[in-house]
Amino acid sequence: MSVAAKLAQIAENEQKVYDAGENKGYTDGYEKGKSEGGDTEAAYEQGKADGKQAEYDAFWDAFQNYGEPKNYGYVFAYDAFTDETYNPKYPINCIYSQAMSGNYVFSYSKITNTKVAVICGANRTMTGTFANSKIETIPKFVVLETNAFTNTFQKCTALKNITIEGVVANNISFAESSLLSRESIESIINALSTTTSGNTVTISKIAKENAFTDEEWASLIATKPNWTISLA
C-alpha cells in the first residue's frame, strides 16, 4: 500500500470512529470508539468525548425539558446531586404555573455553585429555595416584582456571591449569609424596588461591616429610602 493510500485509510478509520461515537451517543459509544479506533489513540479519545457529550445532552435535555420552564421543586435538594454530578445545561427556569416550582430547589444541597441562572416563575413565592445549602455562588438570580421570598436564603451560611437580575419588591433576607461579598450586597440593594413601601431587606451585620465603611453603607442605602434595612 502506498503512503498516500495508508494515510487515506487512517483518515477513513478516524472518521469511522468519530461517526460511531457520535451516532451512538450513549455509554456504549465509548467501547465502540475504542474497538474501531484501531491503533489511533486520538480516534478513540474523540469517540469517547463525543459519546460522553451525547450522553450529557440526552440526560440534561430530558431532565431540564430542553430549558423550558418546569417544576424544579426539591429537584436538587439534599444529596440528589454533588458538585461533580450537577452540571446543568440550561438555566434553572422555574415554571410560573405550579406553586411549588421554585420551592426547596437546592435545600440542604451540598452543591456549592448553581453554575447557571436561577429564574423565578412569575407570581411565585420562592420558599426555601436555597435554604440550609452549602451554596457559595449563585451567578444570577432572576427575580420579578411579583415574586415573594420566604426563607429563600435561610441558613445560607456559605453564600458569598450572588448577582440579582430584576426587581425585588417584597421582603427578602440574607440574615445568616455573613460571607456575602461587597459586590453581592450592592447587587441586592440595587435590585430593590424604588416604588414599593413597607418592605424590609435583611443583611448579615457581619457581612455589611466586612464590606463597607459606615459612610459607604449610608451612601448605598440612601438610594432606597423606601426600604427598611435590618442588619441581623
Partner 1 sequence: MKTRKILYADEGKILTNGEIYGKQIFLADGVSEYDFYEITEGEYEDIIAMQEEAANDI
Enumerate binding residues for partner 1 (CB under 8 A). Answer: 103-104, 127-128, 131, 151, 154-155, 171, 173, 175, 197-200, 202, 205, 218, 221-222, 225-232
* Largest CA-CA distance found in the chain, in angstroms, rounded: 85
Retrieve residue 191's grid coordinates: 435590585
Residue whose CB is less far from partner 1, 114 or 204: 204
Least distance in Å: CB of 79 to partner 1? 16
Least distance in Å: CB of 209 to partner 1? 10
Residue whose CB is less far from partner 1, 86 or 227: 227
With b for 16 or more beta-carbon neighbours within 10 A and e for fewer, the 139-149 pattern comes to ebbbbbeebbb
Residue whose CB is less far from partner 1, 20 or 201: 201
Residue whose CB is less far from partner 1, 93 or 107: 107
Least distance in Å: CB of 231 to partner 1? 4
Least distance in Å: CB of 78 to partner 1? 12
**What count of other Cβ atoms lies within 10 Å of the Cβ of residue 69?**
18
Provide the 8-state DSSP code for 40. Answer: -
25: region left, alpha or beta (phi > 0 left; psi from -120 to 50 alpha): left
176: region left, alpha or beta (phi > 0 left; psi from -120 to 50 alpha): alpha
Tell me the sheet residues that pair with 127. 150
Least distance in Å: CB of 211 to partner 1? 15
Residue whose CB is less far from partner 1, 82 or 230: 230
